[in-house]
Structure 1
Amino acid sequence: MHCHFYLFIILTYVVSHQEAANILGISHVPSSSHFFLFQSLLRRLAEKGHNVDIATHFVSSENPEGYEQYDFSNKNITRLLCLKFNWSNKMWYSVNINFKKFLYIFRYNQLSLIGSLPLLINNISINVVKSLSDSDVIYFMTKVCGVEACSLTLQTPALQDLKKSKKKYDLVITEIFGSDCMLGFGHFFDVPTISLVTSTLLPWAAERIGNPDNPSYIPSHFFSSAGNLYERLENTIKLLLSKFLYAYFSSEESNEIAKEFFGSNMPSLEKLAKNTSLIITNNYFSIKQIIPAVPNLIEIGGMHIREPKILSKYFENLLSTDTKGIIYLTMGSMVLSESFDNDKLQEMFDAFVELPYKVLWKADREKLPKSLKIPENIHFEKWMPQIEILCHPNVKLFVTHGGLLSGQESVYCGVPRLGIPIFSDQFNNIRAAEKMGVAIKVAYHEISKEKILKAARKLLDDPVYKENSERASRLFKDRPMSPLDTAVYWVEYVIRHRGASHLRNVGADLSWYRYYLGDVIVVLCISFLTLLMVVVFLKFVILF
């Protein structure tokens, strides 16, 4: 009797959440760091009661901690609920908390893109990326992770079936990166579109919502500052060049692929991009130079960061040391530090052996050349729980490639950084950290025992770096809502207001010459020249 009564309460709870939205997320870039942000947002939306479908290359067979998977094929749900929940002790609290977790498994549905593209995770050699120019990076973004990723993922059974389905959605969430082809799903289902930028705002993203990107003072994605004349000139060239290369490498082919998939009556991707309801960008003003933001540009830097968990006994033992502390080293989820040139690795080893610290290095020791002399104070692990390690009180220094997510985690935990940027935005991320006084850069081609030692000792021995890191952490955390809750609020805002068109800046719809007052400047110039000619003419008449 009690069981059926509480089952009635649960069903009432379900009915009361009929306002739950159907949300489709498309994460077609085959990078785990990109998907990490998608996953954080969409899982929280599922927890909030929304029905989420996420197309991804990283299908997980595991639920988040605290969630359990059940097979209902041969079980009576009523009986399972009666057995699972504690109906007698703190009844409603138990139902309220546990049932939300229970519902999650129905509301988060993964659409597999596995096999369509090679995954960019712990499989890239330093030799592939160490000499890439900004133009090479844009080509990689727009061709490999843009047009090619678009074409191949649209051929997957998951997305082919999605196009054939009769399911109704209320919102589509895509990513702004190398191609806009997935915006077609917003048009196909006739729903608003939100775009997620997993980095700072990309050069080709601002104009679609009319956000200022004036290179006189706003650094572009591929440049870290805009101060003196030379910097402003370089910043302007890089901004214009990156926009041109995106259009040249991606736009035309992406439109062809999208129209072939969604139908020839689909508007151009450029027009669909102009209809973007909201852009969520993985940036935050306290760790990057402040940029002006229109109402539908939301900064959620650090959205992926969760509260550190209790470390396993194994890692807790690793972090226990009789030295002065721990130096944690990782080169991220893409580039293998094992692929570093042998002489660079040996120089780093020779530097670390002279420091009275234990070094935890994310790498596979078996893949390192046997000829290298590895000090006893260096310990290798193939994987480590990064946020838990960085926030551990014994960790004194973070040696990093300068990835944005890693940088945000180090700021969150208040740990100084020794940056060895390899490619893309990593250089700008480390430059920004240097300006904050929380990092020192050592370029890959400059790696030597002396330079690593000098940088590490300064970061470890000068208390200013730790003080600056702790101040940066306080500023980063001091927000009215957590980054994830902020993102969820604005996603639900767009759903509630059916696209929230009132957030849109009219500047997004202006032609370039109107936006930059080209027509006004022409009129003023003509007026000035006319006035000048009249004055000269009158002077000539008076004289003669």
Structure 2
Amino acid sequence: MRGVAAVLFLLSMQLFLLAEAAKILTVSFVGGSHYFLLDEISRVLHERGHEVRMLQTDNLFSSGGYTNRDPKDYQITTCSFEDDYAKELKAWFSELQKEFLKGRAGLRCYLELMDHFAFQCNIVLKQSAILNSLRHEKFDIAIIDAFNPCVFLVIEKLGLPFIAFFPGTFINLGQVDIPRPLSYIPMPRSLLSDHMDFWERVKNVFIYFVYQVVNMQLQAKFDHVIEAHFQAGSRPTLSDLYQKSELWIYNTDLTIEFPRPLLPNTIYIGSLLAKPAKPLSQELEDFIGQSGEAGFIIVTMGSMVTSIEQLDIVKEMNAAFARLPQKVIWRYQRSRWPKELKLAPNVKIMDWLSQNDLLGHPKARLFVTHGGINSVMESIYHGVPVVGIPLFGDQFDNMVRVEAKQIGISLPPYQLTADRFAKAMKQILEDDKYKRAAVALSKIQQLAPFAADEMLIHWVEHIIHSGGGTHLRPYGSQQPWYQQYLLDVAFFLAASLALVAYCCVKLVKIISKMICPQKLKQT
């Protein structure tokens, strides 16, 4: 009887879950690690029992050979671009990599990227057959990669409520009303930690005002797209669309992020991609086994950088690896390895490697990385210290946090020589404090009350079943800026004090005339 009761209970729970299942649209318009995250979100929600479809763009940024989807997983709708444009974009990104490696990944590169996003957005919004098909499916909610402003315009066209997922740390402060006390919350690209002296706080305030100007320039890139695809009188602004998000989710957590105040409609669920390690191939196990107790080093510069364009940097890295007793597994596209350069005998290059599984291997000693947030979160999860070579985007800020947490060292690519690189790696390998700090953060991360995927499911279903995130959104987001900063109150108090002071002065003069009339006349 107990067995029958158990079966009936499981069947009733299945029916309940099916009744509660929602139709969810996920949107990913950027490749690489951005796609990995939206793929994982889609997979987690699909396995939960929800009906999931991903809207993605095709043939643009490469995901580096990544394939992790079962044919029976969630559904996919793809917006395609002309091959000529795809080639143009890849050529631009190839040139951009050279700029990164020379330390010139500045504001200009970021704004050029936004130009490409705006151009792509115009093409996506013209694909009315796809948009109409999605509109007719009547999704309950969308989960979007909030890095690309275009997704906000697409979701507005579809008329869907949405959750904004930001695939990194809090670098979009100009878009979201998150509290940001400048005395201890560093601005993006400030290269500051939360411990700032006087002049660093001055720098932080200055960057804050620069950031406001940059944010206006960014939004202006999409003005022509909005004018072309939305009717006059009902044209949205990106600022308004950012405020419409039911919830903001950030791909970080307190193992790497500095503690900061958050509003109820803002949460973080880092380490979505960090998992217990799976067994490696026999080929890799045999290679690692040759290292003995020295262990091995994992090297990858991110999903979108399959090889390094600067020959001098490749030579310096290769020479530095040759000086170490550890084996080195380096993700580098074999067909693009310089023919004139002999690979160091302790190095194995691979077109693609399972980064998470390698980091989880007991002989992993060091991770050489570009400093992307997913890579940093995986290294923390497995307790492996890092040497970071940041190239662009939030990688510089991530490495500031890595150094502040004492789990690694940052080395800019334009300062990379064999001597400096080998010295940095030896410092990490020989000083136990880095490993101890990484293990301590790993323990904190794994002792979190809820795993990242559980947090994701909990919050997405909470938003769906509670009818949205209005109850989480502070009223301050609806106030004019002068009310938010109490400037009207400050003006009232200043005017009141001025009036009181004026009245006091007048009263003193009147009393003085009454008390000493003769003296006043003589004077």
Cα deviations across residues 226-252 of structure 1 (Å, max 9, x unaligned)? 51232223223333323322322334x
What SS class does the counterpart of residue 112 from structure 1 fall into? strand
Alignment partner, residue 400 of structure 2:
431
* Change in CA separation of 1:531 and 1:55 when aligned onto 2, cut-off 3 Å: same
- Measured after TM superposition, the shift of residue 178 of structure 1 is 3.9
Taking the TM superposition and a 5 Å limit, the aligned residue runs for 1:119-268 are: 124=94, 126-130=97-101, 131-144=103-116, 146-156=117-127, 159-162=130-133, 165-179=135-149, 181-204=150-173, 207=176, 210-223=177-190, 224-225=192-193, 227-251=196-220, 253-258=221-226, 260-261=228-229, 263-264=231-232, 265=234, 267-268=236-237
> What is the distance in 2 between the residues matched to 1:237 and 1:176?
26
Alignment partner, residue 86 of structure 1:
none
* Change in CA separation of 1:436 and 1:189 when aligned onto 2, cut-off 3 Å: same
What SS class does the counterpart of residue 118 from structure 1 fall into? helix
Cα deviations across residues 385-412 of structure 1 (Å, max 9, x unaligned)? 0000011111101111111111111111
- Measured after TM superposition, the shift of residue 11 of structure 1 is 12
Taking the TM superposition and a 5 Å limit, the aligned residue runs for 1:463-482 are: 463-482=432-451
What SS class does the counterpart of residue 222 from structure 2 fall into? helix
* Change in CA separation of 1:154 and 1:14 when aligned onto 2, cut-off 3 Å: farther
What SS class does the counterpart of residue 163 from structure 2 fall into? strand
> What is the distance in 1 between the residues matched to 2:256 and 2:355?
20
Amino acid of the residue matched to residue 124 of structure 2?
T
Stretch of structure 1 that moved more, 424-433 or 364-373: 364-373
- Measured after TM superposition, the shift of residue 300 of structure 1 is 0.8
Alignment partner, residue 281 of structure 1:
250
* Change in CA separation of 1:440 and 1:281 when aligned onto 2, cut-off 3 Å: same
Find the partner of 2:330 among 348, 351, 361: 361
> What is the distance in 2 between the residues matched to 1:492 and 1:525?
48
Stretch of structure 1 that moved more, 184-193 or 378-387: 184-193
Cα deviations across residues 155-211 of structure 1 (Å, max 9, x unaligned)? 347634436x522111122222242x433454445442111101112335653xx32
- Measured after TM superposition, the shift of residue 471 of structure 1 is 0.3
Alignment partner, residue 316 of structure 1:
285
Would the aligned equivalents of 1:35 and 1:58 in 2 still touch at CA under 8 Å? no
* Change in CA separation of 1:501 and 1:160 when aligned onto 2, cut-off 3 Å: closer
> What is the distance in 2 between the residues matched to 1:298 and 1:290?
13
> What is the distance in 1 between the residues matched to 2:340 and 2:257?
42
Cα deviations across residues 313-336 of structure 1 (Å, max 9, x unaligned)? 222223222341101111112234
> What is the distance in 2 between the residues matched to 1:25 and 1:373?
45
> What is the distance in 1 between the residues matched to 2:208 and 2:130?
34
Stretch of structure 1 that moved more, 399-408 or 210-219: 210-219
Find the partner of 1:305 among 274, 288, 304: 274
- Measured after TM superposition, the shift of residue 306 of structure 1 is 2.6
- Measured after TM superposition, the shift of residue 358 of structure 1 is 1.0
> What is the distance in 2 between the residues matched to 1:388 and 1:289?
27
Alignment partner, residue 393 of structure 1:
362
Alignment partner, residue 37 of structure 2:
37
What SS class does the counterpart of residue 43 from structure 1 fall into? helix
> What is the distance in 1 between the residues matched to 2:217 and 2:510?
56
Would the aligned equivalents of 1:349 and 1:375 in 2 still touch at CA under 8 Å? yes
Alignment partner, residue 507 of structure 1:
476
Cα deviations across residues 256-286 of structure 1 (Å, max 9, x unaligned)? 4246445554544432322211011111122
Would the aligned equivalents of 2:175 and 2:242 in 1 still touch at CA under 8 Å? no
Amino acid of the residue matched to residue 431 of structure 1?
V
Amino acid of the residue matched to residue 136 of structure 1?
R
1:330 to 2:300 alignment: yes
* Change in CA separation of 1:310 and 1:530 when aligned onto 2, cut-off 3 Å: same
What SS class does the counterpart of residue 308 from structure 2 fall into? helix
> What is the distance in 1 between the residues matched to 2:203 and 2:130?
41
Taking the TM superposition and a 5 Å limit, the aligned residue runs for 1:18-33 are: 18-29=19-30, 31-33=31-33
Alignment partner, residue 496 of structure 1:
465
* Change in CA separation of 1:402 and 1:158 when aligned onto 2, cut-off 3 Å: farther
CA RMSD between the two structures:
3.0
What SS class does the counterpart of residue 328 from structure 1 fall into? strand
> What is the distance in 1 between the residues matched to 2:453 and 2:115?
31
* Change in CA separation of 1:287 and 1:441 when aligned onto 2, cut-off 3 Å: same
What SS class does the counterpart of residue 486 from structure 1 fall into? helix
What SS class does the counterpart of residue 130 from structure 2 fall into? helix
What SS class does the counterpart of residue 86 from structure 2 fall into? coil
Would the aligned equivalents of 2:57 and 2:79 in 1 still touch at CA under 8 Å? yes
1:451 to 2:420 alignment: yes
* Change in CA separation of 1:475 and 1:340 when aligned onto 2, cut-off 3 Å: farther
1:115 to 2:115 alignment: no
Would the aligned equivalents of 2:163 and 2:247 in 1 still touch at CA under 8 Å? yes
Cα deviations across residues 336-392 of structure 1 (Å, max 9, x unaligned)? 4431342x3322222222211111111124423333343211111111100000111
- Measured after TM superposition, the shift of residue 541 of structure 1 is 5.2
- Measured after TM superposition, the shift of residue 141 of structure 1 is 4.2
Stretch of structure 1 that moved more, 363-372 or 466-475: 363-372
What SS class does the counterpart of residue 39 from structure 1 fall into? helix
Amino acid of the residue matched to residue 173 of structure 1?
I
Alignment partner, residue 389 of structure 2:
420
- Measured after TM superposition, the shift of residue 135 of structure 1 is 1.8
* Change in CA separation of 1:153 and 1:188 when aligned onto 2, cut-off 3 Å: closer
Alignment partner, residue 484 of structure 1:
453
- Measured after TM superposition, the shift of residue 221 of structure 1 is 2.7
Percent identity, aligned pairs only, is 28
> What is the distance in 2 between the residues matched to 1:493 and 1:244?
36
Alignment partner, residue 515 of structure 2:
none
- Measured after TM superposition, the shift of residue 461 of structure 1 is 0.6
Alignment partner, residue 3 of structure 2:
none
> What is the distance in 2 between the residues matched to 1:16 and 1:392?
37
